A = this chain, B = another copy of it.
Amino acid sequence: MSGSLVIVGLGPGSSDLLTPAAARALKAATDLVGYGPYLDRIPAASVNQRRHASGNRVEIERAGHALKLAAEGNKVAVVSGGDPGVFAMAAAVFEAIEAGDPAWRELDIRIEPGITAMLAAAAEVGAPLGADFCAISLSDNLKSWQTIERRLRAAAEGDFVIALYNPASRARPHQLGRAFDLLREAKSPESIVLFVRSAATPEARVVTTVLAEADAALADMRTLVIIGAAATRLISRGARRPWVYTPRAEQEVVR
């Protein structure tokens, strides 16, 4: 087959954080496929480039449509926020390949990585992911809340820094509060909690607090929540927002 499909990570939003490889892949495509607001970020490459916008939450249909276009001989770019491999479009494309036309397995498929939200959020505040960490999506559209709880407990047990993707949406307003409740049972009330909204954009907003006081209402779908490990700490800077970082070494326990 002569068609190809590349799954492109747009990063957090600004073209400043789009890799040259990703920009080139977008330019070379005959067809751009993606969630409407992501497509709107991409400058037109030529009058012949087609755009196929779809709504949120239809990832598998979108992936199947993109694969069909590629199988017809087109050069397709599937656009994804952040990094395609982290709670984004790449897994949906491979799900569609596995369930779909066997000929799709012969397609030329590539992934162009991007800056995922937790890296941009961490860069806003210091180096909170400086030691071992985990990333958990709080969305239970595709997995049970029981699995999410099991992973939160394990993350606390391992004293990982925790990055929470998809912490809240209009359809799921209560999950982050339940996650905080669970973590309050397993972690110190003084654990640092960061709400980083719209990281790496001019609208970036950071709230730094502790687990005992963390208010789930501060999060929406544009927010990444980071919960520190035992060693995660603040560097105060007078009137300015403190830096937050996790030292590479273990916390020295004062006895």
Q: A20-B20, A83-B119 known; A200 and B136 CB under 8 Å?
A: no
CB–CB B155/A119 < 8 A: no
CB–CB B21/A235 < 8 A: no
Q: Which residues of B contact A142 (CB under 8 A)?
A: 248-250
Q: Nearest residue in B to A124 (C-beta to C-beta)? A: B111
Report which of B19, B105, B133, B159 forms a contact with A237, defined as CB distance below 8 A: B105
Q: Which residues of B contact A85 (CB under 8 A)?
A: 119, 122-123, 127-130
Q: Which residues of B contact A245 (CB under 8 A)?
A: 90-91, 94-95
Tell me the complex Cα distance, A115–B19, Å. Answer: 9
Residue in A97, A122, A248, A249 with the greatest tally of chain B CB atoms within 10 Å: A248
Nearest CB in chain B: distance from A77 CB, A? 14
What is the oligomeric copy number?
2
Q: Convert A113-152 into 0s and 1s, putting 1 for each residue whose CB lies closer than 8 angstroms to a CB of B.
A: 1111001101100111111111111000011100100110
Q: Nearest residue in B to A130 (C-beta to C-beta)? A: B91
Q: List A78-105 residues whose CB lies under 8 Å from chain B.
A: 83-87, 90-95, 97-98, 105
Check if A173 is an interface residue, CB within 8 A of chain B.
Answer: no
Q: Nearest residue in B to A160 (C-beta to C-beta)? A: B134
Check if A246 is an interface residue, CB within 8 A of chain B.
Answer: yes
CB–CB B135/A134 < 8 A: yes
Check if A112 is an interface residue, CB within 8 A of chain B.
Answer: yes
Known: A85-B130, A91-B247. 18 other contacts (CB 8 A): A17-B21, A18-B19, A92-B248, A94-B127, A94-B235, A95-B248, A105-B235, A109-B243, A111-B126, A113-B200, A115-B115, A132-B136, A134-B158, A134-B160, A142-B249, A142-B250, A143-B250, A154-B154
Q: A17-B113, A154-B155 known; A130 and B94 CB under 8 Å?
A: yes
Q: List A20-77 residues whose CB lies under 8 Å from chain B.
A: 20-21, 24, 59
Check if A16 is an interface residue, CB within 8 A of chain B.
Answer: yes
Check if A153 is an interface residue, CB within 8 A of chain B.
Answer: yes
Q: Which residues of B contact A147 (CB under 8 A)?
A: 159, 250
Tell me the complex Cα distance, A151–B91, Å. Answer: 26
CB–CB B158/A94 < 8 A: no
